[in-house]
Amino acid sequence: MILRNSLLVLAIGASLALTACQREPSPSGDTGDASTSSQAAPQDETADAFIARVNAELKAMYPELTAAQWLSSTYITDDSQLLAAKANEKFLTSLNSWIEQSKKFEGQQMSPQTARAITLLKLGTAMPAPKDPVKLAELTRIATRMEGMYGSGSYCRTAGDSKSCRQLGELEDVLRNDRDYGAQLEAWQGWHTISQPMRDDYQRFVALVNEGAKELGYADAGEMWRSGYDMSPAELSAETDRLWGQVKPLYEQLHCYTRTRLEAQYPGRGSVDGLLPAHLLGNMWQQDWGNLWDVLAPYSEQEAGADLDVTAALERRYQSDLNARLAKENALIDTDRRVEVVREAQLEDARRMTRQAEEFYTSLGMPKLPDSYWQKTQFIKPRDRDVVCHASAWDMNMGGEDGKSPDVRTKMCIKPNEEDFTTIYHELGHVYYYLAYNDQPPLFQGGAHDGFHEAIGDTIVLAMTPGYLQSIGLVGAQQPSREALINSQMRMALAKVSFLPFGLMIDRWRWGVFDGSITPENYNAAWWELKAKYQGVAPVTPRGEEFFDPGAKYHVPGNTPYTRYFLSHVLQFQFYKSLCEAAGFQGPLYECTFAGNRAAGEKFWSMLSKGNSQPWQQTMTELTGGEQMDASAVLEYFAPLQEWLKQQNEGKTCGWQASASAPAAPAAPDAPAAPVTPAAPGPGEDAPASRS
């Protein structure tokens, strides 16, 4: 998700964002008083000197900024949230000051690089803050509090005198592994209770960021978000519609096939008037259907002559290591020591999965991860505290200049399954982007646009072909056959194609919230209308306005723009095709892996090193030969599967009516009336898996 993870999504360029998949860190920490956190502008300062000063001040404050945010994400306490909120407050005060100072250069002659830097400065946060210091402080408190609610959220139930609580990871395990209809429904509904208390905070958050955006000259925060793509907000909206039109027929075929399989698995309960039940897709947000492989696999392992069950292989490997560790212990090992041994095995397994991902990047000629990465990364969920498990990548110090070594990290709660395994490759894509552009000035340390940042690691994931997985020992020998090809394509489509409409709808919801066309009284209804329209997904029980289901997705309380993830799912296929060509690959696109190819790696690294120093169209042209985003490579890649799906769906009534989106249900009689306030920002989602 690659999110992308901080609530306040700082995104100067796109790099202050700590991914993805991504998570983007909220601005954090500064050393001075909020009122004096940036230097006063010298009287005779030129535009070039101004940008040089801003770059220096930004880089100086950045380590404290990110340290406060890292702490609030990995040690969720009232104290850490206070520190993060104050750090965010100080940073946003500095940002507002820089933006105000930049106004005196409007209309002046300056170098193109300086003009670009000033433009990026104005777009330097996804959370534009009001100038009023009281409101700015309120905004940072709300943002930090919502992220804390998400990170510490748990669903509890009482049976007799006992109370049991489960957090997101445990509830996700139910959706991943348990095919019992009722158990899945309870897990899905349970997680969605954690966001109900966020509703009032989110309304106020929307009002405050809209006020900040208007002070910067934008109609609302959504328009500001859409302005960061070297094109007008209207052009960006039209571009995403065009790209969705290219891939929608493929998604509709996958949807139709999935509905047929679910109806066979759950007779009479496998669809909701033609829409897919939200709790039956193996993923809390229905963005990745890969966990339904046991239900949706086109052919059995025997029929295909190939085993693609990566999760089973990872689990076997972990269990074998754990058993070996336990065998070395005394036969009378006590419970505490056994817990320690299990934790040691979990940590080593997570590190081993990460080392395999690192080896792919280094095989392309990219550098090894710094030693500090292995020392400071959060690989698994701690036992003693609440953390934000949403996977994210972090650049802590904009290292690479002044003799500093880069401090890059990832934050995950890794388990031995395919979803987490591919998420690691995704998150390291952000990390290697950081390392490549660390020599750029701070204001240019970002992706060419934010969709680029999300696409890097997923381009690598596309190259994780069955042949590659066999080479690292996660699947057995592959016997070429039509059945094996369709299985392989389906495995990838359940992650990539299923995600496409989800990547659009989150920001479509937020854009409406920000511009006021979606009012607080209709937050939840509008959410499910959009999920029905784009995804063809519906809840099986009423979801009235007493719920706040958008808040159950990290990127909403975390304020991480999401359109980047939709764009990344188009870009990654373009990047993949270009790198395959650079590697000299001959054959069907879906068979290409460029692992170990230095020519492809050199071309990739060259693109990464440009950061956000030039319009993305120029960067795109240098890598792919064209400056337009285009989904034709998606269709080329999945051509065999699309033809197969059409054959499977022949004679069936495919498609759905969005009006069937959700069972009608009035708001609970005792639900508090939501105060009417302006709307908030919005993009759309999570890079595959839990990136996002």
CA distance 523 to 513: 8
**Could you tell me which residues come within 8 angstroms of residue 170 by beta carbon, excluding any fewer than 6 positions away?**
none
**Could you tell me which residues come within 8 angstroms of residue 587 by beta carbon, excluding any fewer than 6 positions away?**
none
What is the DSSP-derived secondary structure letter of residue 165?
E
**Is 301 considered catalytic here?**
no
**Beta strand residue intervals within 297-396, DSSP E:** 392-395
Token pair of 606, please?
């060259």
**Could you tell me which residues come within 8 angstroms of residue 202 by beta carbon, excluding any fewer than 6 positions away?**
146, 523, 548, 550, 551, 556, 557, 680
Axis-axis angle for helices 500-515, 233-265 (nearest 10): 130
The one catalytic residue among 255, 279, 426, 449: 426
Task: Collect contacts of 317-326 with beta carbons under 8 A, ≥24 apart.
Answer: 317/349, 317/352, 317/416, 318/345, 318/346, 318/349, 318/416, 321/345, 321/348, 321/349
The one catalytic residue among 390, 449, 453, 569: 390
Q: 623 with 496: CB under 8 angstroms?
A: no
Please return the burial class of 65, using the count of CB atoms within 10 Å of its CB with bins 0-12, 13-18 and 19+.
buried
**Is 534 considered catalytic here?**
no
What is the DSSP-derived secondary structure letter of residue 516?
T
Task: Determine the residue type at 246.
Answer: Q
**Is 426 considered catalytic here?**
yes
The one catalytic residue among 373, 433, 554, 565: 565
- Dihedral-angle region of residue 402 (phi above 0 means left; psi in -120 to 50 means alpha; beta otherwise): left
The one catalytic residue among 89, 427, 483, 529: 427
**Is 454 considered catalytic here?**
yes
Q: 611 with 446: CB under 8 angstroms?
A: yes
**Is 357 considered catalytic here?**
no
The one catalytic residue among 279, 430, 453, 569: 430
Token pair of 357, please?
């991902």
Q: Which residue has the tokens 């104290």?
A: 79
**Is 279 considered catalytic here?**
no
Q: Which residue has the tokens 């392992």?
A: 301
**Could you tell me which residues come within 8 angstroms of residue 441 by beta carbon, excluding any fewer than 6 positions away?**
51, 55, 117
**Is 565 considered catalytic here?**
yes
| Residues making up the chain, counted from first to last | 692
Q: List Cα–Cα distances, 97 to 53, 63, 113, 164, 350, in angstroms.
A: 13, 20, 21, 49, 43
CA distance 672 to 650: 49
**Is 57 considered catalytic here?**
no
Q: Residue 64's closest CA among 407, 438, 385?
A: 407
Active-site residue set: 390-391, 426-427, 430, 454, 555, 565
